[in-house]
Amino acid sequence: MEFSLFYFSGDGSTTSSDKYRLLIEGAKFADRHKFAAVWIPERHFDAFGGLYPNPAVTGAAIAMITEHIQIRSGSVVMPLQNPLRVAEEWAVVDNLSQGRVGLSFAPGWHPNDFVLFPEKYTDKKEIMWRDIQVVQQLWQGEAIALTGGNGKSVNISTFPRPLQPQVPIWITSLSDETFIDAGKIGANILTSPLYQSLEEILRKVTLYRQSLAQHGHDPQSGKVAMMIHTFIDNDMDTVRHKVREPFKNYLKTHFDLVVKSAGDLRFSIDPKTMTAQDLDDLLDFSFETYFNGKVLMGTPAYCQAMIDNLRQAGVDEVAALIDFGVEFDWVMKSLDLLKDIKNNIAS
């Protein structure tokens, strides 16, 4: 089992001058203590995740303050990007980091994000798979034929040349279909427990490894990383006290997430008719739902047991999401305890 840090802040609207402090200090900590990677998302036009509109930019910053840890997108929303720019920007990060880039790709989901390319929304998944191949070709130094401003065909290569001959590819996956399709191209998997049980994860990982084998890839070569909200302290009541309000506020900044979670549990919700008390009750309910089995929040012993369950479900890496509003010093103390769990597993 490997361990990495995942970032997806709940509030990009703050005007504080230290809004990237946890990203920077967390990355330094992970680098010192031999974590596997730092994941940085791409998110647009919303406070939820809004600190991270371009993971290549923040990845370049991480490259300059670390020496060992892999720097991964979590994820590049491929239909919102030009594959030429993805290859160019991440080749810069690969050079700055001395070859430590990894890329997870996603098709996107929110219609408002597609104001960048509204014509791509309908076929976003097909575009993602197509353009991943283009990024791989460009990364390996191949030229692709495109039409220039004068209407003539021109062969285009991107620069700078990256240091890695091939970029490690991940696919952000929840559905059976995406797990299987990731296996077809030999990509790794980035997933989440929020909308699936451990039994479902095991079933999907089994489908993924079968797909790897059926398409000529080593079925054990693919990695499955689990993005999971993480906070550890030495007493369960202390954990609950420290995370309850921050996590409720985190959920509130992305109300669609709360509605989906409640909908999965067969609740009928009409946001237009909800009162403030209704919303608070729903947030309380959602917090309890997540806190009991959907997040890595608890004592070291509790979290160790949950990590063991993830491993039995076929997960190879815990991608600990740490920036959901808990006080900075508490998060850094939690990282110390996560580091101890990582080291105990390694030994």
Tell me the pLDDT tens digit for each residue of 194-204: 888 889 999 99
On whether the CB atoms of residues 39 and 73 are closer than 8 A, the answer is: yes
Mean pLDDT for 9-31 is 85
Q: Is residue 255 part of a domain?
A: no
91-105, 168-182, 285-299, 327-341: lowest mean pLDDT where? Answer: 285-299
- The residue among 190, 103, 96, 184 whose CA lies nearest residue 139 is 103
For the entire predicted model, the pTM comes to 0.92
Residue 343 confidence class, pLDDT cut points 50, 70, 90: very high
Interacting residues of 14 by C-beta distance below 8 A, sequence separation 6+: none
Number of folded domains in the chain? Answer: 1
- Beta carbons of 88 and 158 less than 8 angstroms apart: yes
Please state whether beta strands 37-40 and 2-6 pair in parallel, antiparallel, or not at all (unpaired): parallel
CATH number for position 331: 3.20.20.30
Contact 49, 12 (CB under 8 A): yes
Inside any domain, residue 161: yes
Task: Assign 3-class secondary structure to the chain.
Answer: CEEEEECCCCCCCCCCCCCCHHHHHHHHHHHHCCCCEEEECCCCCCCCCCCCCCHHHHHHHHHCCCCCCEEEEEEEEHHHCCHHHHHHHHHHHHHHCCCCEEEEEECCCCHHHHHCCHHHCCCHHHHHHHHHHHHHHHHCCCCEEEECCCCCEEEECCCCCCCCCCCCEEEECCCHHHHHHHHHCCCEEEECCCCCCHHHHHHHHHHHHHHHHHCCCCCCCCCEEEEEEEEECCCHHHHHHHHHHHHHHHHHCCHHHHHHHHHHCCCCCCHHHCCHHHHHHHHHHHHHHHHCCCCEEECHHHHHHHHHHHHHCCCCEEEEECCCCCCHHHHHHHHHHHHHHHHHHHC
Please list the residues that pair with 4 across neighbouring strands. 37, 319
Flag whether 337 is in a domain: yes
Considering the domain boundaries, does residue 301 fall inside one? yes
**pLDDT confidence bin for 11, thresholds 50/70/90:** low
Q: Is residue 195 part of a domain?
A: yes
Does 117 fall in a domain?
yes
Query: Lowest mean pLDDT: which of 37-46, 118-127, 243-252, 331-340?
Result: 243-252
Task: Tell me, yes or no, whether 256 lies in a domain.
Answer: no
| pLDDT, average across residues 299-304 | 96
Q: Give the residue numbers spanning the domain of 304.
A: 2-237+296-346
Q: Is residue 128 included in any domain, yes or no?
A: yes
pLDDT band at 112 (very low <50, low <70, confident <90, very high): confident
Q: In the prediction, which pLDDT does 261 show?
A: 43
Percent of the chain with pLDDT over 70: 92
